Amino acid sequence: MELTYRPRRLRATPALRALVREHQLSATDFIYPLFVHEGASNEPIGAMPGAQRWSLEGLVDEVGRAWDLGIRCVVLFPKVADGLKSEDGAECCNDHGLIPRAIRRLKQVHPAMAIMTDVALDPYSCDGHDGIVDEHGVVLNDETVAMLCRQAVAQARAGADLIGPSDMMDGRVGAIREALDEEGFENVGIISYTAKYASAYYGPFREALDSAPRPAGGKPIPKDKATYQMDPANGREAITEALLDEQEGADILMVKPGLAYLDILHRLRSETELPIAAYNVSGEYAMVKAAAERGWIDERAITLETLLCFKRAGADLILTYHACDAAQWLRQG
Ligand code: PBG
């Protein structure tokens, strides 16, 4: 054949492929999500093999391991005792609550590790919703935002570096920015869950925290989060959310879930100059673990491919439960 272009020329050897490779993965791309509980020992999570509900001291050790593997940011999620849950989730702003204590402890032992937090009421709400539910079953926006601002300030006071509102209430990024600034935390950043979809991929996470929406007392409780999280059918709406978050002062935008939403990541990349994060969520992790346990897929190869594809699609950062494994695999080359 007389071909002018033979794209295979640049695929011929590992050296040539490395030379023209467009994207690379590195441990510093990862944010490692960790669950913490009040217990004295670590507890495995059924649907997330390898993940644990860490005790405070278990958490300290795991963060040390992550640091040694090159990871520079973790995000913390609390498994709150039932007795501390309430309709308004007020435990979320307790300065001596689980998360503020965990942050303070981590900053004592690993002061250079960046700590991100999650801002939402679901782990603290007896209804399992990210916001306050009124007697008609409506998730209240503005009342919830006031509580989230107090939660964010408590986290910043404990030493958090990045505040991550995951609740999808309207106007919360701007309100949290203002609340942080008023308290003198103008250098604490906001990584906003900008395009967070009402997704079935969060199932294992809700098991880990025992935080799924559930009926409590006499009032009607919505069984899903569709009145605040986005409809998986919608793409353009993600751009509206991104532009609002940017105007309101977000420092980093996030797309969640990751894998089925790579088009959203790609679209946001062309709409903003801010860093973008992808959340490789619990259901995505559980699917890989389940298939790997059966020997149906190669966990290492599939995980590194998936994480790299997030970067190709436009992510600068990736939240992944595979962070330590991936960092280790990258090291082995
Ligand atoms: C809480 C929150 C959720 C996740 C992160 N923060 C669950 C939800 O919105 O129901 C999901 C993370 C995952 O599935 O890995 N607002």
pLDDT per residue, tens digit, the chain (333 aa), is: 999 999 999 999 999 999 999 999 999 999 999 999 999 999 999 999 999 999 999 999 999 999 999 999 999 999 999 999 999 999 999 999 999 999 999 999 999 999 999 999 999 999 999 999 999 999 999 999 999 999 999 999 999 999 999 999 999 999 999 999 999 999 999 999 999 999 999 999 999 888 899 887 778 999 999 999 999 999 999 999 999 999 999 999 999 999 999 999 999 999 999 999 999 999 999 999 999 999 999 999 999 999 999 999 999 999 999 999 999 999 998
Is 182 within the bounds of a domain? yes
State the distance from the centre of ligand 1 to the C-alpha of 205, rounded, in angstroms: 6
Total domains present in the chain: 1
Pocket test for ligand 1, best of 205, 227, 230 (most atoms within 8 A of CB): 205
What CATH number corresponds to the domain at position 267? Answer: 3.20.20.70
Pocket test for ligand 1, best of 155, 202, 206 (most atoms within 8 A of CB): 202
* DSSP-derived secondary structure letter, 7: G
Is 274 within the bounds of a domain? yes
Q: Give the number of the atom of ligand 1 that is nearest the alpha carbon of residue 167.
A: 16
Q: Fill in the amino acid letter for 319.
A: L
Which residue's CA is the nearest one to ligand 1's atom 7? Answer: 202
Is 59 within the bounds of a domain? yes
**Letter string b/e over residues 199-228, b meaning 16 or more CB atoms within 10 A of that residue's CB:** bebbebbbbbbbbbbeeeeeeebbeebeeb
Instruction: Give which of 19, 38, 170 is closest to 91, Cα–Cα.
Output: 38
Q: Fill in the amino acid letter for 89.
A: G
Q: Is any atom of ligand 1 closer than 6 Å to the C-beta of 45?
A: no
Task: List the catalytic residues.
Answer: 196, 256
Q: What integer pLDDT is reported at residue 26 of this predicted model?
A: 98
Q: Give the number of the atom of ligand 1 that is nearest the alpha carbon of residue 196.
A: 9
Is 6 within the bounds of a domain? no
Q: What integer pLDDT is reported at residue 241 of this predicted model?
A: 98
137 close to 163: Cβ distance less than 8 angstroms: no
State the distance from the centre of ligand 1 to the C-alpha of 181, rounded, in angstroms: 26
State the distance from the centre of ligand 1 to the C-alpha of 121, rounded, in angstroms: 11
- Give the containing element (helix H, strand E) for 125: none
Q: What integer pLDDT is reported at residue 126 of this predicted model?
A: 94
Is 245 within the bounds of a domain? yes
Q: Give the number of the atom of ligand 1 that is nearest the alpha carbon of residue 229.
A: 9
Is 14 within the bounds of a domain? no
φ, ψ at 265 (rounded to 5°): -60, -45
For residue 82, what are the domain limits?
A: 23-332
Q: Give the number of the atom of ligand 1 that is nearest the alpha carbon of residue 285.
A: 15
In angstroms, rounded to a whole number, what is the distance separating the alpha carbons of residues 238 and 118? 20
Q: What integer pLDDT is reported at residue 101 of this predicted model?
A: 98
Is 209 within the bounds of a domain? yes
Q: Is any atom of ligand 1 closer than 6 Å to the C-beta of 118?
A: yes
State the distance from the centre of ligand 1 to the C-alpha of 13, rounded, in angstroms: 42
Q: What integer pLDDT is reported at residue 215 of this predicted model?
A: 80
Is 15 within the bounds of a domain? no
